[in-house]
Amino acid sequence: MKGKLATLYQKDGTKKILASLVSILIGLLVGAFVVIIVGLFNSRISLKGAWEGVRLIFFGIFSTGRDASGALTWGFNPTSLGNTLFRAMPLIMTGLSVAVAFKTGLFNIGAPGQYLFGTMASLMVALSLPTEKMGAVPVWIIAFLAGVLAGALWGAIPGAMKAFLNINEVLACIMTNWIAANIVTWAFDISNFKNVAESTKTGYVYKTTFNGVATAKLGLDKLFPGSQVNAGILVAILAAIGMYVLINKTTLGYQLKACGSNRHAARYAGIKDKRNIVLSMAIAGALSGGGAALYWLSGNTEFFWSTYQSLPAIGFNGIPVALLAVNNPIAVIFTGIFMSMLNVIGLQMSNLTAYNEYLTDIIVAVIVYLSAFALVIRMIFESRKKKAPAAEKKAKENEEPPKPDAAQNGKGGEQA
């Protein structure tokens, strides 16, 4: 049994999983430490309130609120679980976007811009096509494909700059991110999609339900009553499975990974490296744009378009999702759900404790950015793996040679 565990530990995949789990644990512990410190120095919270905050960090997804006496209650919370799946939907897509680019040797930091272009294309198509003539389902499909295509086109731009002009994709992605932010702001500013029916709102675009378009529930609303979950999460999971098959089971996936490993060697082997670099970034952009389309076509929320001074965090949050998943498309499903769970827990801390929303944002940020330590932890595991054989070899060299057995000596003498 011990030998099997040692063999399992030596596998590269095991080290990757352990590194991600250690990163998650460190992040949660740091969040708990911040909660305790704030609670000790805040008279309104006290140690009891801090302990409740710590419990919510680790088990908040199972909190059902407070009872009549004010104590926290626990159990199956379908609303929180459903909202977790809903929020995980775009995270899985942007995580896939970053992971697929990583697999091909590219760093797609342009997911926010691709997400914005997918938002713009999907909302404009969904709100402009006549659903009374075409039907809501065909309009939803066309709007979703429009978001995917817009993201792909915007992602292909830094890919083309990398392939044909040898411009670093990170610089090109940063440039296209801010160009996208300004284009989207301008496009919605001159459009007639602004929500003017509700006079209390400014700078908001109509929900897609204004045009009768919303993602189907497919019975998920009965499993998770009171939540925003819909069939979009199923589309995101299918996209993850599709990316896994593409990268690991197809010739195109092999070519993309070959270009990522060594572009010049791939070209020598007859692989079209320039085409594959552009194609890789286009696929990454399509995933980000598709994530935006899934989120906004749900019909649950309104898009705030006015004066975009910052990029959508959902695009950048795809980076730690991909890092925690070690760029494995299937693992992205679980890390995306985990990151979404942290968001829901942050909301529960604001609603159920005296901790304000800014503190919960700090906790979530710490956990998100500590996920980058997965790479460092894996390097530590790898260094230990290299030191172990060297230590064993040195120990064998220091051992004394075995003494000959007397019986063997006698037998040898008889033979002589």
414 pLDDT above the threshold of 80: no
Which amino acid, 154? W
Same structural domain, 20 and 99: no
- Give pLDDT, residue 10: 58
More confident: 257 or 200? 257
Same structural domain, 369 and 325: no
How confident is the model over 215-233, as a mean pLDDT?
92
**Band of residue 412 on the pLDDT scale cut at 50, 70, 90:** very low
Same structural domain, 238 and 146: yes
403 pLDDT above the threshold of 50: yes
| 153 lies in some domain | yes
Give me the domain span that covers residue 358. Answer: 11-76+354-381
d(CA 343, CA 6) in angstroms, rounded, equals: 37
Same structural domain, 152 and 252: yes
More confident: 183 or 347? 183
Structural domain count, the chain: 2
Mapped onto helix, strand or coil, the DSSP state of residue 194 is strand
Same structural domain, 207 and 295: yes
CB 292 within 8 A of CB 90: yes
- Give pLDDT, residue 22: 79
Same structural domain, 230 and 316: yes
- The kind and range of the H/E element at 238 are helix 232-249
The string of pLDDT tens digits covering residues 5-45 is 556 555 666 777 777 777 788 878 888 888 888 888 887 78
The string of pLDDT tens digits covering residues 151-169 is 999 999 999 999 999 899 9
Same structural domain, 66 and 86: no
The string of pLDDT tens digits covering residues 241-297 is 999 999 999 999 899 888 887 888 888 888 888 999 999 999 999 999 999 999 999
**Which range (132-136, 336-340, 342-346) has the least confidence?**
342-346
Same structural domain, 199 and 243: yes
| 302 lies in some domain | yes
CB 151 within 8 A of CB 289: yes
